Structure 1
């Protein structure tokens, strides 16, 4: 495994970080709790020491699963990354969208990061995770109804209390990053990045490189699309958000698989899967610190972890990069 420090901090993460969204069973179709726990444990054995979760993932389910999975691991050997700012039990803030919980009941999701909410969410997360501190505490989405200063003053207070070690953001643009960093040192920005989702290349990634803000790339496999296992006519489980996502139309799947066919010989030569090659390319991309990779079971998590073992020389990286730019 490769380990990388978040810029200007002493927090070191595994370059492949376990993404625990699907583990919570929310918006991905059902995930068995025991399988999710074993996936996290198997990843740790392979050197994946960092786990990214959030309260909204299964409305507490993902955090509870993470807490259960790591309870026998020395706390200083694992890095817990969680989030705040998406409430399903409040009607304050910026309405985000309607959804259903894991029981199929309708819920309304709000983006809210008022001071009292940040403090409460942290306390709730600590209990679910079974720990007394969080390594990286990240606002999940911008809340346009709360001043950024108010939100991060609360975060700074939590740092002073020792309940969190470092502050991060997710899905922040350059202006928002600057405003947050003026209140408390922002270690990282967690943003979507994959071979087919490259919007951050325009402004956010260059700024993060310039300002020495680490980038945690989520959905590097584009929700499974870049594994090569999604084919036209693929049937998703009930409740799986991908069924209506723009990247999972038949035309887009065909286009993506044509691209994957072009890079497949490199994967074969290295005795790697397409997913492993894609993940390795992602963490070699300038400015990308770590890639978050989710897994439903131990086999998937082990495969993701071993992406760090794939050796990719400059010529191979450049060849893939050239094809990516044409996508």
Structure 2
């Protein structure tokens, strides 16, 4: 069973938008393996898939026993008929997407519904007010916001309340600890973090000379390029050594580092195959000694 309540299965990889080679059978087995490992929290979104693929797959497991599971959803992003990503934080669109979100999931209520991101063309007060109405209608138990600045989080919370936020964090890219997570925690709001494995790089499965398949979006990220990638692989090598000493895998150490940080309520761990989640569900918070070893190694390559 999963020893940590801080592991959330993130369903973006099984949506098939940026991940190459996703199959429904693998996706179903991944969700089933997560549940067998003790995971009860899932993160999906209206825009996870061109046609709600993430929601529909998840519904097969959670709709029959909603009290057993905690589902996080998101509205405010969508894909057009041309498969272009669009942001729409208008009240009418947020409402329509939330209702469709629930139909796909075959649920009467989403446990935590986020505004996926602030819409630069819609006043945040409008979007927050719409999210509050969704909560008052009972479509969700609580609301939150993702990909927002500290000031935007404050504005949102003042209008709609805010149970949680989502922001990026991993042991290399840790700016959000000070810019977002700490001030948010001071308001009594927890942070769920993503990119804890930085698209697989911090899982230790990508070699220095790995060639990504055509269509894979990961080479577009700076951390997968040039000197940054070389430094990252040096850190991964050291994580491997620490793992041998502690009996943990590189992925477990990377996730463990993230969920050990103050203010972090949980880590969104993505997977598209069952073997991936079978490993990472066993990640737990790390001892202060192990955290110090990791921090010292990272500081040598990416000083903060």
TM-score, normalised to structure 2's length?
0.93
Query: Which residue, out of 61, 85, 97, partners 2:53?
Result: 61
Unaligned runs of 5+ in 2: none
Partner in structure 1 of residue 11 of structure 2: 20
Partner in structure 1 of residue 292 of structure 2: 318
Matched, 1:141 2:117: yes
Residue 2 (structure 1) shift: 5.0
Equivalent residues, number: 299
Query: Which residue, out of 246, 253, 256, partners 2:229?
Result: 253
Partner in structure 2 of residue 33 of structure 1: 24
Q: Which residues of 2 match residues 172-251 of structure 1 at below 5 A?
A: 172-251=148-227
SS for the counterpart of 2:83 is strand
Partner in structure 1 of residue 67 of structure 2: 76
Instruction: Please list the CA deviations of residues 32-60 of structure 1 after superposition, one character each: whole Å capped at 9, or x if unmatched.
Output: 11111111111111111111011212121
Unaligned runs of 5+ in 1: 4-13, 90-104
CA contact (8 A) 2:3 2:282 kept: no
Residue 172 (structure 1) shift: 0.8
Residue 250 (structure 1) shift: 4.3
Partner in structure 2 of residue 277 of structure 1: 253
Matched, 1:114 2:75: no
Instruction: Please list the CA deviations of residues 109-166 of structure 1 after superposition, one character each: whole Å capped at 9, or x if unmatched.
Output: 2211100011100011001111111011111121111111211211111111211011
Moved more, 276-285 or 262-271: 262-271
Structure 1 runs of 4+ off > 4 angstroms? none
Instruction: Please list the CA deviations of residues 4-25 of structure 1 after superposition, one character each: whole Å capped at 9, or x if unmatched.
Output: xxxxxxxxxx301001001111
CA contact (8 A) 1:169 1:186 kept: yes
Instruction: Please list the CA deviations of residues 192-232 of structure 1 after superposition, one character each: whole Å capped at 9, or x if unmatched.
Output: 11112122133212211211111111010001011122123
Distance 2:55 2:212 in 1: 24
Distance 1:282 1:315 in 2: 15
Moved more, 211-220 or 54-63: 54-63
Partner in structure 2 of residue 158 of structure 1: 134
Distance 2:299 2:68 in 1: 38
Residue 263 (structure 1) shift: 2.8
Matched, 1:170 2:146: yes
CA contact (8 A) 1:41 1:70 kept: no
Matched, 1:86 2:82: no
Distance 2:73 2:236 in 1: 32
Partner in structure 2 of residue 288 of structure 1: 264
CA contact (8 A) 1:24 1:65 kept: no
RMSD: 1.7
Distance 2:116 2:27 in 1: 22
CA contact (8 A) 1:188 1:214 kept: yes
Distance 2:298 2:20 in 1: 30
Instruction: Please list the CA deviations of residues 280-307 of structure 1 after superposition, one character each: whole Å capped at 9, or x if unmatched.
Output: 1110111211011111111111111011
